[in-house]
Structure 1
Amino acid sequence: MTKDYLERTLSARVYDVAIESPLEFAPNLSRRIGNHVYFKREDMQPVFSFKIRGAYNKMVQLSRATLDRGVVAASAGNHAQGVALAAQHLQCRATIVMPATAPRIKVDAVSRRGAEVVLVGESYSDCYEHATKLAAETGATFVHPYDDPDVIAGQGTVAMEILRQHPDPLHAVFIPVGGGGLLAGMAAYIKRLRPDVKVIGVEPTDANAMYLSLKLGERITLPQVGIFADGVAVKQVGEETFRLSQEFVDDVILVDTDAMCAAIKDVFEDNRSILEPAGALAIAGMKAWAAREGVQGQTLIAIASGANMNFDRLRYVAEQAEMGEQREAIMAVTVPEQPGSFRKFCSLIGARNVTEFNYRYGSDTQAHVFVGLSIQQRSEVVELIEKLAAEGLPALDLTDNEMAKLHIRHLVGGQAPQALHERVIRFEFPERPGALLNFLDGMSDNWNISLFHYRNHGADYGRVLVGIQVPPADDTQFQDFLSRLGYPYWIETENQAYQLFLGSN
């Protein structure tokens, strides 16, 4: 089968529509991590993603009679655009089933290629089910986004180009993982010709289906996935992609949202291009892996896999990037409410650059300060907290506190001692009309909303912090409400950031 994939990749038809993307040296990032770093610029493809390779290689091999019956695909974005462009080039009808939550920018991009867009459900699973049903009813061919040998071979041409473009010693290649098509195709090709090169997959911590499947030795299905990196938000990897990954992949590393944001900034600083979160995933994984393994002086290549970024999301990326690089820390500091304490606090901070500062009178005895500081390394935070505590100013590191980063920093100074039995929950609402009404309709008339904070991040979902006053006697009813609602949620009532800045104390 290895030989079969080598031949499939070498004979893949992709260059009718795809380009041989450049392999670009990244001098700034190379200096920072002490290795020779290259980006494989798949974000420069005509649809701003590598997905055009696999989609076209599958479709170009269909007979004219088959093409005349049309093709169907299910996708939230990049695969959809790849199939649409391939259909346009091959002059066949394409129907793309996309989730109703898909951003307008992605829907319009597919429509402009001449494909018919059908909006169904909220997830890829909903779209997949509807698309396969459409294909069966109409006789059209379903073009799978990753679990198809011709698609896998098409994606493998990325590896073919890398080994041709860089014949010199190469230590490791880092590849983003969703369903596994790109990872499987590249790994099968690289290990056939250069078995000494390490092949490392990279997944988000909250969408780690391949990592867990390889660890457990069988394909698992995640109950839910984080969708910040929507291009790789897959609950179950493909059967064939899993088989190939078991045989050829050396490791899979996990990174969080902050690390992806930092990687987006790294790429921008080196070549002034802006990747989408999934597009920067491999760069984030390369940095994490090199730090973990202590690798120095080696050649590392990461796939810059896509650039279909919503402009509105850039604000959030910029906010999180410094924390992802551990160049910013956020802290909560309690200061006595007395003359001179504020000045004392500022003097203890010293010459550090303050990136954010929120202060408000809290009570007759104390106030809480929410502060962001530029740092060079994380150990500085521990030292500063100890220094503040020694001077009678207790401090709390909130750098890894998601609620603090997403919501508290915008709500400081809003304590409500009269909000009895307040429960605080962090939700991910689907970004579609009716999501809030659906939430409100499911609530009991006996419960009062005491806090609500929403901030648009240009994503397919909204991050919402809600305070609800629920009497203890309604515990079971409240849990039933959360289960029926079906939105991802996290109970934050005991979160220290909430207790300090918003709770009743």
Structure 2
Amino acid sequence: MTPQEVETALEAMRGLFPETPLQLNDHLSARYGANIYLKREDLTPVRSYKIRGAFNFLRKIVGDSPANTTFVCASAGNHAQGFAFVCRHFGVQGVVFMPVTTPQQKIDKTRTFGGEFITIRLFGDIFDQCYAAAREHVEAIGGYMVPPFDHADIIEGQATVAAEVIQQLPEGVTPDLVVMPVGGGGLSSGMTGYLAGRVAQDSMVFCEPAGAPSLRRSLEAGAVVTLPKVDNFVDGAAVARIGDQNFAALRHFAAEQVVIVPENAICVTMTEMLNVEGVVLEPAGALSIAALDLLPPERLAGKTVVAVVSGGNFDFDRLPDVKERAMRHAGLKKYFILRLPQRPGALRDFLNLLGPEDDIARFEYLKKSARNFGSILIGIETGKRENFAELFARFDQAGLGFEDITENEILANLII
């Protein structure tokens, strides 16, 4: 991949959709004392950058392929939607394999983007089963498999994000930091390849969710590592194994350049961007913004920073869970198991311990733990995180038995 090849791909792409904005964000710039630019890939026609790689892959084949060639992909998310949009653009037949468990909303959007040119096949409960079925189908029909990230033409297509950034920055301005999310590595390997020689190597910052740090672990090991399990909350970046070609392009970076972002911290960013900026982001799309909080303040102060917002395909049915996670991460909501005496007035005595900003969000009687005591699950929201320290002090002074289970994943998953 050369810069000229990326720019040729970008020129061809203009026949499909206009450039996405590079916006100076005043809110974030004021917070960090820097010039924070957001590259808004959530504003492509399919609300993610994935359309770029799919377009570049197909454009190199369509002109030379027979009219009855069929393209195939396996995806339950943004890659499927970008693939479907591009198949309709070129007027070619595409087959999308999705797990049976795929939300109906994603199936419907993929069908809308592809129209009559797309066939959707649901197979298997997990992605690996779905992907295996797609591979078998490609071999049976002699079609083309369009991978989500591990292919030179996909990487070249995603590199057009960086080419646009360079064109859109004010004249004479070079980014001091480029922050980009990592899943399979298509976006990051493409952008860093194009920016090599334009932006210093140590100015590249990668971010991964804590539940799927495939690039970080691979850089630490010096070879591609397959994670034994991943947390799928950040579904757009929850990849157990970074692509082989992608890692080959990224292996010269230091493991310390990868920022690991807790899933709940991503939720804080999602709710803030929605409430303050009116911007709807999916978890992977919020990764690069959430990572800013984890960088040393002096690394941002006075600098020009480009953060890639990779996507905005968010299912609002997930909003209550996102809000819940955000409040827990911010220290504004906690869950306890209380051991209350079984006597008249015990509950009233407990309520009198709450402060003026403390609010009960969950109350559930669990069982009697002894003849004269009962266990209660209670969730408390408050206005400031420091209020909990004062509440704990009042609990101790009153001799109240309690256990904070907010960060106990096993108990929280079972009863919250």
What TM-score comes out, normalization by structure 1 length? 0.73
Find the counterpart in structure 1 of residue 41 from structure 2: 42
Find the counterpart in structure 2 of residue 185 from structure 1: 190
Secondary structure of the residue that 1:231 maps to in structure 2? Answer: coil
Q: Show the 5 A alignment for 1:107-126.
A: 107-112=107-112, 113=114, 114-126=117-129
* Partner of residue 264 from structure 1, selected from 264, 270, 280: 270
Measure the CA separation in 2 of the matches of 1:321 and 1:331. Answer: 18
| Residue identity in the other structure for 2:381 | L
* Partner of residue 147 from structure 2, selected from 144, 147, 150: 144
Q: Give the direction of change, closer, same or farther, for the CA distance of 1:366–1:129 in structure 2 (3 Å limit).
A: closer
| Residue identity in the other structure for 2:143 | A
1:165 aligns with 2:164: no
Measure the CA separation in 2 of the matches of 1:120 and 1:93. Answer: 19
Find the counterpart in structure 1 of residue 17 from structure 2: 18
Find the counterpart in structure 2 of residue 245 from structure 1: 250
Q: Show the 5 A alignment for 1:307-326.
A: 307-326=312-331
Q: Give the direction of change, closer, same or farther, for the CA distance of 1:137–1:317 in structure 2 (3 Å limit).
A: same
Find the counterpart in structure 2 of residue 206 from structure 1: 211
Q: Give the direction of change, closer, same or farther, for the CA distance of 1:323–1:399 in structure 2 (3 Å limit).
A: same
| Residue identity in the other structure for 1:40 | K
Q: Is the contact made by 1:188 and 1:248 (CA closer than 8 Å) also made in structure 2?
A: no
Measure the CA separation in 2 of the matches of 1:189 and 1:279. Answer: 21
Find the counterpart in structure 2 of residue 83 from structure 1: 83
| Residue identity in the other structure for 2:283 | P
Q: Give the direction of change, closer, same or farther, for the CA distance of 1:269–1:301 in structure 2 (3 Å limit).
A: farther
Find the counterpart in structure 1 of residue 134 from structure 2: 131
Measure the CA separation in 2 of the matches of 1:67 and 1:53. Answer: 23
CA apart distance, 1:354: 1.6
* Partner of residue 5 from structure 2, selected from 5, 8, 13: 8
CA apart distance, 1:275: 1.6
Find the counterpart in structure 2 of residue 402 from structure 1: 409
* Partner of residue 388 from structure 1, selected from 375, 395, 398: 395
CA apart distance, 1:253: 1.9
C-alpha distance after superposition, 1:453-477 (max 9, x if no partner): xxxxxxxxxxxxxxxxxxxxxxxxx
Find the counterpart in structure 1 of residue 26 from structure 2: 27
1:60 aligns with 2:59: yes
Measure the CA separation in 2 of the matches of 1:371 and 1:111. Answer: 41
* Partner of residue 331 from structure 1, selected from 332, 336, 339: 336
Find the counterpart in structure 2 of residue 74 from structure 1: 74
Between 337-346 and 71-80, report the one with greater CA deviation: 337-346
Measure the CA separation in 2 of the matches of 1:298 and 1:355. Answer: 43
C-alpha distance after superposition, 1:20-78 (max 9, x if no partner): 11123333444445544332211111111110001101111114242621211121221
Q: Is the contact made by 1:263 and 1:280 (CA closer than 8 Å) also made in structure 2?
A: yes
CA apart distance, 1:197: 6.3
| Residue identity in the other structure for 1:8 | E
Percentage of identical aligned residues: 32
Q: Give the direction of change, closer, same or farther, for the CA distance of 1:398–1:33 in structure 2 (3 Å limit).
A: farther
What TM-score comes out, normalization by structure 2 length? 0.87
Secondary structure of the residue that 1:106 maps to in structure 2? Answer: helix
1:283 aligns with 2:289: yes
CA apart distance, 1:243: 1.2
CA apart distance, 1:196: 6.2
Q: Give the direction of change, closer, same or farther, for the CA distance of 1:325–1:163 in structure 2 (3 Å limit).
A: farther
Find the counterpart in structure 2 of residue 372 from structure 1: 380
Q: Is the contact made by 1:25 and 1:39 (CA closer than 8 Å) also made in structure 2?
A: yes
* Partner of residue 306 from structure 1, selected from 305, 311, 316: 311
Measure the CA separation in 1 of the matches of 2:185 and 2:246. Answer: 5
Q: Is the contact made by 2:176 and 2:199 (CA closer than 8 Å) also made in structure 1?
A: no
Measure the CA separation in 2 of the matches of 1:323 and 1:28. Answer: 23
| Residue identity in the other structure for 2:234 | A
Q: Larger RCO: Structure 1 or Structure 2 (Cα < 8 Å, ≥ 6 residues apart)?
A: 2
| Residue identity in the other structure for 2:86 | A
Q: Is the contact made by 1:132 and 1:142 (CA closer than 8 Å) also made in structure 2?
A: yes
Q: Give the direction of change, closer, same or farther, for the CA distance of 1:34–1:201 in structure 2 (3 Å limit).
A: same
Measure the CA separation in 2 of the matches of 1:136 and 1:367. Answer: 59
Q: Show the 5 A alignment for 1:408-487.
A: 408-409=415-416
C-alpha distance after superposition, 1:168-212 (max 9, x if no partner): 353322222111101111122223311166222222222222121
Secondary structure of the residue that 1:49 maps to in structure 2? Answer: coil
Q: Give the direction of change, closer, same or farther, for the CA distance of 1:270–1:155 in structure 2 (3 Å limit).
A: farther
C-alpha distance after superposition, 1:74-97 (max 9, x if no partner): 212211111111111111111122
Q: Is the contact made by 1:66 and 1:141 (CA closer than 8 Å) also made in structure 2?
A: no
CA apart distance, 1:373: 2.6
1:235 aligns with 2:240: yes
C-alpha distance after superposition, 1:200-228 (max 9, x if no partner): 22222222221211111111112332222
Between 28-37 and 246-255, report the one with greater CA deviation: 28-37
Find the counterpart in structure 1 of residue 223 from structure 2: 218
List 4+ stretches of structure 1 deviating above 6 A: none
Between 225-234 and 247-256, report the one with greater CA deviation: 247-256
| Residue identity in the other structure for 2:219 | L
Between 168-177 and 30-39, report the one with greater CA deviation: 30-39
| Residue identity in the other structure for 1:49 | S
CA apart distance, 1:366: 5.1
Measure the CA separation in 1 of the matches of 2:412 and 2:26. Answer: 31
